[in-house]
Amino acid sequence: MAMLISKFHRLIQSRLLWGAFLVIIVFSFVIWGTKMPGSSRRDREERAEGLFNGKPVSPEEFRQAYFNSRLAVGLMTGRPPMPGAETEKALRKAAWQRIAEVYKAQELGLPRTTDAEVIATIQHQPIFQAEGRFDERRFATFVRNGLAELGVNEVQFEDYLREEMLLEKLRLVVASTLLIPPSDAQTTVASVSDQFRVEYAVIAPDTNAGARVTIKEAQALYNRDPKTFTVPEKVRVQYVEFPFSNYVASATASADEALNYYNEHMDRFTRMVSITNPPPFGATNAAPTISQRSDQIPFEQVTNTIYAALKNAAARTHAEDVASEFVGSLSPDRHGKALTFAQAAAKYGQAVHVAGPFADGEPVAGLEDVTAFNRTAFALGTNTDERFSDVIKGPTSALVLHLDARLPARVPPFAEVAPRALEEARTEAKAAAQEAKANQLRAALLKASPTQPFGVTTMTLTGTVLALRSSTNEYAETLLRAATTRNAGELCEVLRAYDGNLLVARVAERKRAEAATINSLLPQVQASLQHQRARALDETYAAYLLKAAKLEDRRDKPNEEAGTPARAMPPRNAVPADVL
């Protein structure tokens, strides 16, 4: 045994042995850390958001395109896009189109947008200018308020602009291939500059026909398709309200907070003042001129307004915090026990209100933000932890909802909806009699000469489309839309007006405008047609690029191994092309 121990000591002290161990370990790490040929591409393809021309598009690249597409919508509408499946689908489509257009711009070798171009574009935007010059304060306010609301910082906005300007260069290249035939422009000019005289008769609904409808006819209407009378799914909810006004008295604001608020919202504290400018030097008999200038209101003059705004904001935050605590009290504890909605309301000293039953999209009386209330109510589930909502942040209060009952959709018996069926049958009878009368008059006019009187009371609309756009005639738009495609003496189809009346119209006269008028309008119309068709072409071209690249969107493919949809795109907070 002693000999074995001695040999073992000599063995572990051998440098050769430890050197061999070191070589084996290093070699193992090298082998383990070295990727086999093709593994890098497989990794990229597995992580890819999709394949474009057979090449993987990384999640990072797609997220950037998605971010920019979302930002474009936010800048155009002034608020982030509303969440939802349709919005998500539209944003993904826009993101892929953006990627396709960026690839095409790079393929064509279009010059990348420089920092100088981005700066120049920002400085030339009217919203960032004061008295014809770039105003840094206006841009800072836009970044601090407008972009912040969209969850975007200045760098991200500039990156978006840089890419948008590159895409605008591509759109200009595509638009340059458009050719507007002179005949198209001339036809459009004629439709707005020709002189029209339109004769028309107004056919009102036949009230007598509606009065003759019986309950049997109403029953027949119901029996034709009872499902049209389906009562939609409805919910009844309980809710508690935390008015912001209840917390104003306890709200406070410091002098530093007030000064910071003033500095961050200086654009709100300005006023226009009149400036008297002396006549130019050397001018005789010239009167002074008056101009307007935007001046900053001193902090001291708006202190009360600022303190009131800060206290209201603090009260709002306090109310929302209390409402959040209320929601937390409804969650089960570690033993699975939870307060009922009524118990939690009593604990917080809140009255429980009841709303409904109401249908999805149906207004709820007595509430300010009806849309959010209705949408939240229908999102509630029947499980215990799904019956109460998160805090709804309204204009003047915070609310928490609790599902009281969910009533399924049903087809009611005729007796329950007899009044409604009778009213619909009357409406149908009046419309049928009205259409018969209008068609009868039009048929008679078709057989008569173009100059024969209508035989009923008629009215006349005279003028050009441009002039009649401001007409006080309530049917001018409906009549002109039909008349512009007709020649003199031709009858229009029976037209339905906005108020339910039917119009039987004839183009009595149509005179071509003078050549000088037509020539003055042609350049404007040509430019307008070019712009409209360029926008349409841009959409078509982007769709073509995606089709040609055989886009494979992994999001649209099910996960074959798990049998579930592929990973969802996480929501990302993202100046439309019109700003360029």
Instruction: State which of 355, 375, 407 marks the end of a domain.
Output: 407
Q: Answer yes or no: do 467 and 400 share one domain.
A: no
Task: Examine residue 64 and state whether it is found in any structural domain, yes or no.
Answer: yes
Cα–Cα nearest to 388, from 234, 240, 244: 240
Task: Examine residue 10 and state whether it is found in any structural domain, yes or no.
Answer: no
Instruction: State which of 341, 373, 407 marks the end of a domain.
Output: 407
Task: Examine residue 14 and state whether it is found in any structural domain, yes or no.
Answer: no
pLDDT score at 223: 92
Task: Examine residue 386 and state whether it is found in any structural domain, yes or no.
Answer: yes
Query: What is the value of pTM for the model shown?
Result: 0.48
Task: Examine residue 224 and state whether it is found in any structural domain, yes or no.
Answer: yes
CATH of the domain at 94: 1.10.4030
Angstrom distance (rounded) from CA 125 to CA 127:
6
Q: Answer yes or no: do 477 and 403 share one domain.
A: no
Q: Answer yes or no: do 545 and 429 share one domain.
A: no
Angstrom distance (rounded) from CA 285 to CA 81:
59
Q: Answer yes or no: do 348 and 255 share one domain.
A: yes
Cα–Cα nearest to 254, from 305, 311, 300: 311
SS3 134: strand
Contact 420, 406 (CB under 8 A): no
Cα–Cα nearest to 578, from 244, 42, 140, 121: 121
Task: Examine residue 7 and state whether it is found in any structural domain, yes or no.
Answer: no
Q: Answer yes or no: do 327 and 353 share one domain.
A: yes
Total tally of structural domains belonging to the chain: 3
Instruction: State which of 407, 435, 461 marks the end of a domain.
Output: 407
CATH of the domain at 493: 3.10.50
571 cis-preceded (ω within 30 degrees of 0): no
**Domain hosting residue 128, numbered range:** 45-178+528-579
Q: Answer yes or no: do 155 and 141 share one domain.
A: yes
Q: Answer yes or no: do 111 and 172 share one domain.
A: yes
Q: Answer yes or no: do 207 and 343 share one domain.
A: no
Residue-by-residue pLDDT tens, the chain, 580 positions? 444 444 445 545 555 555 655 656 655 555 455 555 555 556 666 777 888 888 888 888 889 999 999 988 888 888 888 877 888 888 888 899 899 899 888 888 888 888 888 888 888 888 888 777 888 888 888 888 888 888 888 889 899 999 988 888 888 888 777 777 777 777 777 667 778 888 898 988 877 777 788 899 999 999 999 999 998 999 999 999 999 989 888 888 888 888 888 888 877 888 777 777 676 666 566 666 676 667 788 888 888 888 888 899 999 999 999 999 998 888 887 777 888 889 999 999 999 999 879 888 888 877 777 788 888 888 888 887 788 999 988 888 899 999 999 999 999 999 999 999 999 998 888 888 889 999 998 998 888 887 788 877 778 888 777 677 677 888 888 888 888 888 888 888 999 988 889 999 998 888 887 777 667 777 777 777 777 777 878 888 888 888 888 888 877 654 333 333 333 333 333 333 333 3
CB under 8 Å to 342, separation ≥6 — which residues?
238, 352
How crowded is residue 161: how many other Cβ atoms within 10 Å of its Cβ? 21
Cα–Cα nearest to 65, from 174, 163, 169: 163
Q: Answer yes or no: do 247 and 360 share one domain.
A: yes
pLDDT score at 177: 77
Q: Answer yes or no: do 498 and 360 share one domain.
A: no
Q: Extract long-range pairs of 44-51: CB within 8 Å, 24+ residues apart.
A: 48/554, 49/553, 49/554, 49/555, 50/96, 50/551, 50/552, 50/553, 50/554, 50/555, 51/550, 51/551, 51/552, 51/554
Task: Examine residue 24 and state whether it is found in any structural domain, yes or no.
Answer: no
Q: Answer yes or no: do 316 and 435 share one domain.
A: no
Looking at residue 488, the DSSP 8-state letter turns out to be T
Cα–Cα nearest to 105, from 174, 155, 159, 58: 174
Q: Answer yes or no: do 346 and 439 share one domain.
A: no
Task: Examine residue 339 and state whether it is found in any structural domain, yes or no.
Answer: yes
